[in-house]
């Protein structure tokens, strides 16, 4: 794959080993991740733990990392982790965003257990990355958009463009547009069909799509190819492949 010099940023990258039995112990460390992203032409990424929720370990790996990429950190928000509130306070200057995974936590984003952490994001102006999937009762985009609407100053990136199927992506894009939810963005991770991305782009514009790969589960090259297949203008590519994420996350640096 030809690599140009454009400053690419991957807004959805996991570091560490997965616990979900389906993933068979799959994992990779920060150096592995850095190598894959570098080889694919990325210069930065938003890094988060796996379902192991190892926020301290991920932050320690970022501290020990010496380049060449620049990473931002998003802790994994599991309300059952009793040490989490203290961790968030102690490391406030290092946190660029919060990562919510309703499916793994088996709680919809509207659950009261999540509320203190959403309030933390609102108080500190932290963007939130929220997994959206096909499990509608827990991880449906419509649940996430209720929270998006209630916290208009918090940027929310809906992972998998709202749910990783053509109908869910179209529904999420239409709802964001119709309800004027200007703080909602769609993350492109795991969408394989260029036309699905293109349809959302036509509804929302390139300023609202944020490139993500969901590496170390997926390879960033897969979804880079999907974006490249759209034949976008240089300005649209720049926005989706890095500009939007950098703008959303810029105010919350703590870059490593
Ligand atoms: Zn993910």
Please report the pLDDT score of residue 5 as a whole number.
47
User: Using an 8 Å Cβ cutoff, are 132 and 162 in contact?
Assistant: yes
Give the confidence band of 1 by pLDDT, cuts at 50, 70, 90. Answer: very low
- What's the pLDDT tens digit per position in 72-99? 999 999 999 999 999 999 999 999 999 9
Q: What is the pTM of this model?
A: 0.95
Distance (Å) from CA 235 to ligand 1 centroid: 27
Show the domains of the chain with their CATH numbers: 8-250 (3.20.20.140)
User: Using an 8 Å Cβ cutoff, are 187 and 160 in contact?
Assistant: yes
- The structure tokens listed for 81 are 């982790």
Closest CA to 192 of 222, 228, 237: 222
Distance (Å) from CA 188 to ligand 1 centroid: 11
Distance (Å) from CA 234 to ligand 1 centroid: 27
- The structure tokens listed for 8 are 């690419």
Identify any residues that bridge with 186 across adjacent strands, giving them in sequence order: 158, 209
Distance (Å) from CA 162 to ligand 1 centroid: 13
Has residue 254 got a pLDDT over 90? no
Distance (Å) from CA 109 to ligand 1 centroid: 16
Distance (Å) from CA 194 to ligand 1 centroid: 20
Distance (Å) from CA 91 to ligand 1 centroid: 22
Distance (Å) from CA 48 to ligand 1 centroid: 8
Distance (Å) from CA 132 to ligand 1 centroid: 10
Give the confidence band of 6 by pLDDT, cuts at 50, 70, 90. Answer: low
Distance (Å) from CA 14 to ligand 1 centroid: 6
Distance (Å) from CA 189 to ligand 1 centroid: 8
């Amino acid at each position: 794959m030809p690599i140009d010099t454009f400053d690419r940023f991957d807004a959805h990258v996991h570091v560490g080993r997965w616990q979900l039995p389906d993933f068979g112990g799959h994992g990779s460390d920060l150096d592995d991740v850095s190598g894959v992203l570098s080889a694919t032409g990325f210069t930065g990424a938003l890094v988060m733990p796996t379902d192991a929720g190892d926020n301290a370990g991920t932050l320690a790996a970022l501290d020990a990392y010496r380049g060449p990429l620049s990473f931002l950190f998003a802790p994994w928000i599991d309300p059952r982790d009793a040490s989490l509130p203290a961790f968030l306070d102690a490391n406030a200057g290092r946190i660029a965003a919060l990562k919510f995974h309703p499916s793994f936590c088996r709680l919809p984003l509207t659950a009261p257990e999540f509320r203190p952490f959403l309030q933390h994001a609102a108080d500190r102006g932290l963007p939130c990355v929220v997994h959206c999937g096909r499990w509608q009762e827990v991880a449906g985009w419509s649940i996430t958009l209720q929270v998006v609407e209630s916290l208009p100053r918090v940027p929310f990136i809906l992972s998998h463009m709202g749910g990783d199927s053509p109908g869910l992506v179209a529904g999420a894009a239409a709802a964001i547009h119709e309800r004027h939810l200007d703080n909602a963005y769609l993350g492109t991770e795991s969408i394989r069909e260029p036309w699905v991305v293109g349809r959302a782009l036509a509804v929302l514009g390139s300023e609202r799509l944020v490139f993500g790969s969901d590496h170390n589960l997926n390879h960033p090259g897969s979804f880079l190819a999907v974006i490249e297949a759209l034949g976008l203008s240089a300005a649209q590519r720049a926005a989706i492949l890095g500009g939007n994420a950098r703008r959303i996350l810029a105010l919350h640096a703590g870059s490593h």
